[in-house]
Structures are given as structure tokens and as C-alpha cells.
A = this chain, B = another copy of it.
Amino acid sequence: MSAQKNESFRWLNDEEQAAWRAYLTASARLQQQLDRDLQQNSGMPHAYYMILAMLSEAPDRGMRMTDLAELLSSSPSRLSHAIRKLVELDWIRKDADADDGRVTWACLTDEGMRVLVEAAPGHVTTVVESLFDRLTPTQVAQLREISTAMLQD
């Protein structure tokens, strides 16, 4: 209040307000759906699935921790804790870098790949049913553009 009294201050207009409410609800529901579904069917949260998925597409199924964190929009700490758990499960292996002693590589194990391959169809079905089956192709393109715009800078 005090900060807003004496400064010109941009509030949300009605259209923005409606969009914001709808977005918050929709994204919260989708996130919960993804997490619940993966937890039930594959015993891991969505964040862990994404780690496996990103590694599976990387050369030799391995990435440097920092690059992986950046790709996943994860903090280094969050990734470090997650990788520790995934190593315990034998889904991921940590390798030292040959050139740079600071760098650790996270690598998908065969077991991790197996788990991912088993989890993927159910997960994708959830994504399709919760999101893409509800949108027109035009809306899918719009969603990509909007999301890209949000990532400017």
C-alpha cells in the first residue's frame, strides 16, 4: 500500500486479472496431475522424470550437472539432492570429468533408461489428455509463442 500510494503503479486490468487466475489454476492442476500420475505409476515425481528424460536425449546419455540444472531450470542444490537419490536407485551414475576437476557428469544407467522407457507412455498419455487433447492446433502454437515470450531476456 505505502509503496503504491506515491508511485505510479501498474495494477492488472480485468483481462489480465482473469488470465492470471485462470493460468494459476490451470498450471497448478496440471502440475499436480503430472506429479500424482508419475508417483502412482512410476514411483517418482515429475522433476525426477524430467532428469531421466533429458539425460536420455543427451550424447552418451550424460550431461554435466550445471548444464542439466540449467536445462531443467533447477537450482544446483535441488539437482544435487535429486541426483543423490537417483544414484541410490541406480538409475543414474556420477562420473568425474577428465579435464576439469570441478565438473561432475550425471549419466543415465541402463536401469534408469529401462525405468524411463516404462514410465514414458503413461506420462505422455497424461500430458496429452490433460493438455493437448483440450487445445486446438492453433492454441498449441499460441501456447508455444506465449511461453517463449515469457522467457525473453
Contacts and interface: CB of A to CB of B under 8 A. Distances in A.
A29 B151 contact: yes
Contacts of A72: 28
Interface stretch (A58-66, A87-95, A103-111, A124-132): A124-132
A32 interface: yes
A98 interface: no
Contacts of A144: 15, 18-19, 22-23
Interface of A: 1-4, 7, 9-12, 15-16, 18-20, 22-32, 50, 72-73, 117-118, 120-122, 124-125, 127-128, 130-132, 134-135, 137, 139-152
Chain A to chain B: the 10 pairs with minimum beta-carbon distance, closest first? A22-B147, A19-B144, A26-B147, A26-B150, A4-B121, A28-B73, A1-B117, A142-B142, A3-B121, A23-B147
